[in-house]
Structure 1
Amino acid sequence: MSAALPIAPRALYEEVAELLRQRIFRRELEPGSWIDELKLAEEYGISRTPLREALKVLAAEGLVTMKVRRGAYVTEVSDKDLSDVYHLLSLLESDAAAVVAERADPGQLAELEGLHAELEAAARPGQVDRDQFFAVNERFHMKLLALADNRWRDQMVADLRKVMKLNRHNSLLKSGRIEESLAEHRALMAALKARDAQRAARQMRLHFDNGLEAAA
Structure 2
Amino acid sequence: MRLVQNSLHQEVAATLREQIFAGLYAPGSFLDELVLCERLQISRTPLREALKVLTAEGLLRHEPRRGCFISEVTEKDLDDIFPVIALLEGRCAFEAARNATDADLAALTTLHERLNSHAQASRLNDYYDTNFAIHEAIITLADNRWLAMAIADLRKILKLARSQQLHAPGRLAQSLSEHMAVFAALKARDSAGAEAAMRTHLTRQREALRELARSQRTKVLA
Q: Shared topology, TM-score over 0.5?
A: yes
Q: Letter of the 1:136 partner, please give it.
A: T
Q: Is structure 2 residue 4 aligned with structure 1 residue 8?
A: yes
Question: Could you tell me how far apart the structure 2 residues matched to 1:149 and 1:28 are?
Answer: 34
Q: Which residue of 1 aligns with 2:118?
A: 122
Q: Is structure 2 residue 44 aligned with structure 1 residue 48?
A: yes
Deviation at 1:168, TM superposition (A): 7.8
Question: Could you tell me how far apart the structure 2 residues matched to 1:211 and 1:183 are?
Answer: 13
8 Å contact from structure 1 (residues 169, 215) kept in 2: no
Question: Could you tell me how far apart the structure 1 residues matched to 2:9 and 2:71 are?
Answer: 20
1:36-68 CA-partner distances (Å, limit 9, x unpaired): 111010111100110111011111111011011
Deviation at 1:135, TM superposition (A): 0.7
**Over aligned residue pairs, what C-alpha RMSD do you find?**
1.3
TM-score, normalised by the number of residues in structure 1: 0.94
Q: Given the superposition, is the C-alpha separation of residues 179 and 139 from structure 1 closer, same or farther in structure 2, using an over 3 Å criterion?
A: same
Question: Could you tell me how far apart the structure 2 residues matched to 1:209 and 1:40 are?
Answer: 38
Q: Letter of the 2:66 partner, please give it.
A: R
Question: Could you tell me how far apart the structure 2 residues matched to 1:6 and 1:195 are?
Answer: 49
8 Å contact from structure 2 (residues 95, 191) kept in 1: yes
Q: Which residue of 2 aligns with 1:153?
A: 147
Deviation at 1:212, TM superposition (A): 0.2
Question: Could you tell me how far apart the structure 1 residues matched to 2:107 and 2:57 are?
Answer: 29
Question: Could you tell me how far apart the structure 2 residues matched to 1:140 and 1:168 are?
Answer: 15
Match of 1:134 among 112, 128, 132: 128
Question: Could you tell me how far apart the structure 2 residues matched to 1:199 and 1:177 are?
Answer: 22
Secondary structure of residue in 1 paired with 2:27: coil
Aligned pair count reads 210
Q: Given the superposition, is the C-alpha separation of residues 194 and 165 from structure 1 closer, same or farther in structure 2, using an over 3 Å criterion?
A: same
Percent identity between the aligned chains? 44
Q: Which runs of 5+ in 2 are unaligned?
A: 211-222
Q: Letter of the 1:120 partner, please give it.
A: N
TM-score, normalised by the number of residues in structure 2: 0.91
8 Å contact from structure 1 (residues 65, 73) kept in 2: yes
Q: Letter of the 1:148 partner, please give it.
A: A
Q: Which runs of 5+ in 1 are unaligned?
A: none
8 Å contact from structure 2 (residues 92, 142) kept in 1: yes
Question: Could you tell me how far apart the structure 1 residues matched to 2:100 and 2:76 are?
Answer: 35
Question: Could you tell me how far apart the structure 2 residues matched to 1:168 and 1:72 are?
Answer: 23
Q: Given the superposition, is the C-alpha separation of residues 148 and 194 from structure 1 closer, same or farther in structure 2, using an over 3 Å criterion?
A: same
Deviation at 1:147, TM superposition (A): 0.9
User: Stretches of 4+ moved more than 4 A in 1?
Assistant: none
Q: Which residue of 1 aligns with 2:18?
A: 22
Structure having the larger proportion of residues in helix: 2
Q: Letter of the 2:7 partner, please give it.
A: A
Q: Letter of the 1:146 partner, please give it.
A: T
Question: Could you tell me how far apart the structure 2 residues matched to 1:73 and 1:168 are?
Answer: 20
Secondary structure of residue in 2 paired with 1:152: helix
Secondary structure of residue in 2 paired with 1:7: helix
Deviation at 1:111, TM superposition (A): 1.7
Secondary structure of residue in 1 paired with 2:65: coil
